[in-house]
Chain A
Amino acid sequence: MRFVKTSGGTAKKPRQRAQFNLRGRMLLVGGAMALGAMALVARAVDLQLVDNAFYQKKADARFLREVPIPTSRGMITDRNGEPLAVSSPVESLWANPQELANDPDAIARLAKATDLPGDYLANYVAQRKDKEFMYVPRHRRVNPAVAQKVLALKIPGVFSQREFRRFYPQGEAVAHVLGFTNVDDQGQEGVELAFDDWLSGTPGAQKVIRDRHGRIVEHVDLVRPAEAGKDLVLSIDRRIQFLAYRELKRTLLETGASSGSVVILDVATGEVLAMANLPSYNNNRVSGSNRDAYRNRAVTDLLEPGSTMKPLTVAAALEKGVITPTTRFDTSPGWIANGKYRTSDFRNYGLLDTTGIITKSSNVGVSKIVKLLPDREFDAFLRRLGYGSSTGSGFPGEAAGLFPPPSNWSGTTKQTLSYGYGISVTPLQMARAYAAIGNGGRAVTPTFVKGGHSGESQQVLDPKVAAQVMQMMQTVTEPGGTATRAAILGYHVAGKTGTARKSAGGGYARRYIAFFAGLVPVDRPRFAVTVVVNDPDTSAGGSTYGGGFISAPLFARVMEGALRLMDVPPDDIETWLAAQAAEEAKKARAVRATAPATAVATTQAGAAQ
């Protein structure tokens, strides 16, 4: 403000000094200052006391932030503590487009650092210039080292946030059991989904003071602590799982089959030791393309069990007391009428006892046996063994199977049921039913968690009958049976083959499913196994597509390894010793003959094993 000289100035008419009132002036100034001070105090009171809460909130809102504390998902390990799924930190690069949009130089540097085309990134930023947050394209969940390199350039407006990613070191061998998680670390399939609540932690929250650039200046307070996810120990044994997967893969390659499953249960506890399926996928890198491979066929697929049903039919009849293991049945002429259809055997087996019917897998034989059983009892027996209802394993998407009640049976249903048609079960249900036979007739709910066995078991079958059926199934893998290829040196094996025709368009196609369900060792069964090989190549003809030819050797190869890995003592040392003696005799002959050709052949045969 400029000083303007007025016309009525002091120069014209000087006042007298006596009129100067010092006291009055002092009072005036003092009063004015006091008023001013009062005003300040009043304002201070207003700010500090009256409206305090309002202003504090406004101030806090400007720099105090509640930020989440990230937490990691629990680890999944196999029964021996080997990690199957591990969460590891990764960095997600993000940028503030508002800050970046006006800085072409920063965009260019970012493009160079991230290997993105410059104009693409500029476009991407421009589209989001009214937002405050964007992920840098293709740099979400990257290796921390990559993020560090970009951050080291200190490009303004580019930050990184820590996230966790799931890694599955075993890849596709265990993919179906484990499943996978989505971008937000939530379980989507398999165990990851079934135990999502257990595995996922609760992110915590803390209050921090942030500066203008969003950097954390001070940690003020903890709102709630982060709770890390709990670890989960599965019942799976990584080594057996791998063995099952490898052998299944080999079998599928050799037979040209389209898919397959192997389920291995611990007979006493119901723990799933291995569950392998093909086709499989890599759950480290899940893409939406082949959803078909994501399916855990061992629990979701419904299959007609074919001849693997026969031991159950026989067990039902034995328990009812209508037959004994030595009851004789005439299966000539190799077929029997079923309504207007025919039930045929592979060939005419003539006179067979109950054991022989299982050994030779005679359809005519079981058809005759089931005729002695009332519908209701046969139905109730199969349901007690778990057919027609979910096993209760808790695996997501588990199928209950298709099993019509007796009221819906037609005149031919019971007979077709007796050899495994007109009913659909999952491989896991099948393994569970066989485990019940091997467990002295006690059914145990399968579980995927080590020690998840509730301790409860249901007596679904008379222990004496269970033992008789085991004896009969043992003949299947002995000379004369349908699954001599399932024999394991040093162990007695009980099992049953199955070759089911695939239903297609209302009838049955000339395409097959090769089954083998087995228990080993017979004396004190440890493993219950189901092998399913779907749609093998039938061009070789004969029985080369059957369960005894395809699934039984797969069973033997997997079990040989599993028995060794789990330290199961052999229950049949005699044949082992005999085999050893034969081998030594052969060696001795070879040495005596000193024919190098034989020796070479022997070593080569050994190497090929």
Chain B
Amino acid sequence: MTRIVLAVLIIATVISAIGVVHARHQHRELYVQITRLERARDELNIEFGRLQLEQATWAESNRIDQVARTKLGMKFPAAGEIVVVRP
């Protein structure tokens, strides 16, 4: 009886040992995968930040002001050019 118990325990130990190795291996694989995905995410975030920065640079108030005035010939309407609609 004790022998059977012993054998079962030994087999169980061996199986769990293999299980540990397997889990460890899986952990590594998944970790590699998650770091890859995280890096991809970070790259996208960074790209997004860069684009926002670029957009903000193009939309810089001074530039808009200059372009509107010189290139597009826009101006602020004088008081007399604004029509007030009586409510």
Contacts and interface: CB of A to CB of B under 8 A. Distances in A.
A218 B28 contact: yes
A87 B49 contact: yes
Given A169-B56, A605-B78, A72 B49 contact: yes
Interface string B34-55: 0100000000011001101100
Contact of A220 (B28, B46, B53, B75): B28
Interface stretch (A192-200, A311-319, A574-582): A574-582
A151 interface: no
A580 B50 contact: no
Contact of B75 (A173, A584, A586, A609): A609
A246 B86 CA distance: 33
B84 interface: yes
Contacts of A576: 79, 82, 84
Given A219-B35, A221-B31, A222-B31, A579 B79 contact: yes
A335 interface: no
Contact of B46 (A88, A218, A242, A584): A88
A507 interface: no
A563 to B, nearest CB: 13
A169 B57 contact: yes
A392 B87 CA distance: 43
B49 A580 contact: no
A239 B61 contact: yes
B50 A242 contact: no
A84 B52 CA distance: 10
Max chain B CB contacts within 10 Å: which of A88, A171, A573, A605? Answer: A88
B56 A579 contact: no
A564 to B, nearest CB: 9
A170 B83 CA distance: 34
B80 A579 contact: yes
Given A170-B61, A576-B84, A577-B86, A89 B79 contact: no
A7 to B, nearest CB: 61
Given A83-B56, A167-B53, A220 B84 contact: no
Contacts of B53: 83, 86, 88, 167, 169
Contacts of B62: 171, 173, 242, 246
B48 to A, nearest CB: 10
A65 B6 CA distance: 42
Interface string A547-584: 00000000000000000000000000100110110111
A6 B81 CA distance: 127
The size bracket of the interface on B is 20 to 34
A218 B32 contact: yes
Nearest to B27: A221
Nearest to B34: A222
Contact of A72 (B46, B57, B84): B46
The size bracket of the interface on A is 35 or more
Nearest to A239: B61
A163 B56 CA distance: 21
A155 interface: no
Nearest to A603: B78
Interface in A447-488: none
A80 B12 CA distance: 63
Contact of A583 (B28, B31, B79): B79
A475 B61 CA distance: 35
A489 interface: yes
A95 interface: no
A173 B32 CA distance: 45
Contacts of B50: 88
B76 A609 contact: yes
Contacts of A573: 84, 86
Contacts of B31: 219-222
Contacts of A221: 31
Contact of B61 (A75, A173, A607): A173
A606 to B, nearest CB: 4
Nearest to B56: A169
Contact of A86 (B35, B49, B76): B49
10 contacts: A75-B49, A86-B53, A89-B46, A171-B60, A218-B32, A573-B86, A580-B82, A583-B80, A583-B81, A606-B81
Interface of B: 28, 31-32, 35, 45-46, 49-50, 52-53, 56-57, 59-62, 65, 75-84, 86
